[in-house]
Amino acid sequence: MKKFGSFDKAMALIVVIVFGSGIFAGFLFSYGPLAGVSGASGSGKGVYQLDLVITTENWYNSTIGVQPAYFVVHDGKLITSASISLPANVPIAITIVNYDSGAAVVPSQFANVTGTSGGAVFVVNNTNVNSTGKSTGSGTVISGGVMMSSFPKDNIAHTFSVFKNGKTILNIPVLPSTTEYATFVLSPGTYHWQCEALCGSGPYGDAGAMLAPGWMNGAVIVK
Ligand SMILES: [Cu+2]
């Protein structure tokens, strides 16, 4: 075991542990990056980390070409999001890394956050230079990061929306080219997740990925 003699090294280690393990999202319990970083060593206990990545250049078929898709990060790999298993009654810290720079049409009720702690999402700075918000000037341009509970409905790329018996349990709108953090808790059961932004193919954007499990919808099994 290596000993860390200096404060700097200890802090560096903490930063590596916090960011490297994905526990960073746990800071949402205390609603602020500073509070979270200082309390991160304890806040990871009992928190389940769900890391999702949205990429755009995924080959769908020869008619449609490429489509966007959600993936789950598991053991350092991207795996299908067709069925997401989560523990029941445990805080789920979700991280959504969105590489999609374009916005899609979203019904207005899905522009608001539902079901997260504090009814909000922590949104971190646009990650692509050419993202919609920056290139048009009409979108949401975030300096650093900010807590958001309602989003501009014309500047949402995707949503991570979870339903049970037709009821919206969770709704996280995802801005173009951002990373978002939130926490939520689910009771046992079988849920359905769906992106509510019309990000697929066809004249209305409601085909292709929107209809395909593991692309823009799937099951959420909570037990
Ligand atoms: Cu989508």
CATH 2.60.40.420 domain residues, the chain? 46-222
Ligand 1 center to residue 100 CA distance, Å?
A: 9
74 Cα to the center of ligand 1, angstroms = 21
Between the CA of 7 and the centroid of ligand 1 the distance, in Å, is: 44
> Ligand 1 center to residue 4 CA distance, Å?
45
pLDDT of residue 143: 63
Closest by Cα among 51, 56, 65 to 19: 51
Residue tagged 């048009």 (tokens): 136
If you measure from the C-alpha of residue 194 to the centroid of ligand 1, how many angstroms do you get, rounded to a whole number? 8
6 alpha carbon to ligand 1 midpoint, in Å? 46
| Residue 124 confidence (pLDDT) | 87
Q: What percent of the chain is modeled with pLDDT above 70? A: 71
Q: What's the mean per-residue pLDDT of the chain?
A: 81
Q: How far is the centre of ligand 1, averaged over its atoms, from the C-alpha of 174 (Å)?
A: 9
pLDDT of residue 137: 46
Cα of 171 vs centre of ligand 1, distance in Å, is 13
Question: Residue 101 pLDDT > 90, yes or no?
Answer: no
Q: How far is the CA of 198 from the centre of ligand 1 (A)?
A: 6
Strands (DSSP E) found in 75-174: 77-80, 83-86, 92-98, 121-124, 145-148, 158-164, 167-174
pLDDT of residue 139: 58
Residue 177 sits at φ, ψ, to 5 deg, of: 50, 50
Average pLDDT of span 159-165: 98
Question: Tell me, which fold does domain 46-222 have in CATH?
Answer: Immunoglobulin-like (2.60.40)
Count other C-beta atoms under 10 Å from residue 123's C-beta.
Answer: 23
| Centre of ligand 1 from the C-alpha of residue 161, in Å | 10
Q: Positive or negative, the Cα torsion across 87, 92, 96, 97? A: negative
- pLDDT of 82 reads 98
Taking a 5 Å cut-off on Cβ, the residues next to ion ligand 1 are 158, 195, 197, 199, 216
pLDDT at 191: 98
Q: Position of tokens 């200096």?
A: 6
